[in-house]
Amino acid sequence: AAAAAAAAAAASRPSTKRANESEFVYFAAVEILTRTSHQENHEQQDGKQVALRKQTKMVRFSIDAAFERHPIDSWLSRLREQVDLHRSKRIVLSDLFVQVSAKFIYHGWCVDTFRTHFDTAPNREALAAVMPLFLGWPNEAVRHHAQEIALRARLHQYASICSFMVEQHSKYPDLCCALLTHALVDANVQVTRLQVQTFLGTFVKLLKAGALSRP
């Protein structure tokens, strides 16, 4: 988390050797963190289950301690600032920075020990703000992670994401269908009559175009 914050700060400065080094540390830190905290869901023998539970407890303790010192919400807030600066052409985010950030967020929503730190209203709001950039990023791995994050983080609950999906439905047909469908049936989402009409109209366009990969 500390390396992530350092890299985010470096991204706002001109490209220098120090900034490049910070970005590499960011990459290395995320690789180590995601690989050492990955959880397997396959069945284990009794002895191995006990060892696995002890290891999981240790990992959770370490992660909780790390994020208490370096909160995820501070990192996501900084990431949101970097995305805003990139959109305004005041800085240029590198492909490595975006790819590593997307991978870390995706890992955070896939692993139980991380999810509690990511699944907060401020963090999900920050994700809703940066996700359009990630979804349109030229790197396929970033786009894949972004689509998974949008679903796992329940970003259909944000009007900005639903509007983005309607506008870009031809680029993300399956994701658009999934998010707008969730928005229509989610009791926590206040959908207006106009939005319902717009969503249904979007579904019709996708069906007529044969754009959906599944019936």
pLDDT in tens, 116-160: 899 999 999 999 999 999 999 999 999 999 999 999 999 999 999
Question: What pLDDT, on the 0 to 100 scale, is given for residue 44?
Answer: 47
CB contact at 8 A, 38 and 63 = no
Question: What pLDDT, on the 0 to 100 scale, is given for residue 54?
Answer: 54
Question: What pLDDT, on the 0 to 100 scale, is given for residue 12?
Answer: 43
Higher pLDDT, 61 or 180: 180
pLDDT in tens, 144-155: 999 999 999 999
By mean pLDDT, which of 26-40, 155-169, 184-198 is the weakest?
Answer: 26-40
CB contact at 8 A, 83 and 33 = no
Task: Output DSSP code: residue 210.
Answer: T
pTM to 2 decimal places: 0.79
Hey, what amino acid is at 14?
A: P
Would you state the structure tokens that stand for residue 2, as one six-digit string? 């500390």
Closest CA to 146 of 174, 127, 165: 127
CA gap 78, 3 in Å, rounded: 13
Question: What pLDDT, on the 0 to 100 scale, is given for residue 36?
Answer: 61
Please check the confidence at residue 35 and state whether its pLDDT lies above 80.
Answer: no
Confidence of residue 20 (pLDDT cuts 50, 70, 90): low
* Alpha helices for 88-215 (secondary structure H): 95-110, 112-118, 121-135, 140-152, 159-167, 173-185, 193-209
Task: Output DSSP code: residue 157.
Answer: G
- Alpha carbon 66 to its chain's center: 20
Question: What pLDDT, on the 0 to 100 scale, is given for residue 70?
Answer: 77
Q: What residue has token string 């007529």?
A: 208
Count of helices and strands (H, E) across the chain: 11, 0
Hey, what amino acid is at 32?
A: I
Inter-axis angle of helices 2-11 and 17-36, to 10 degrees?
150
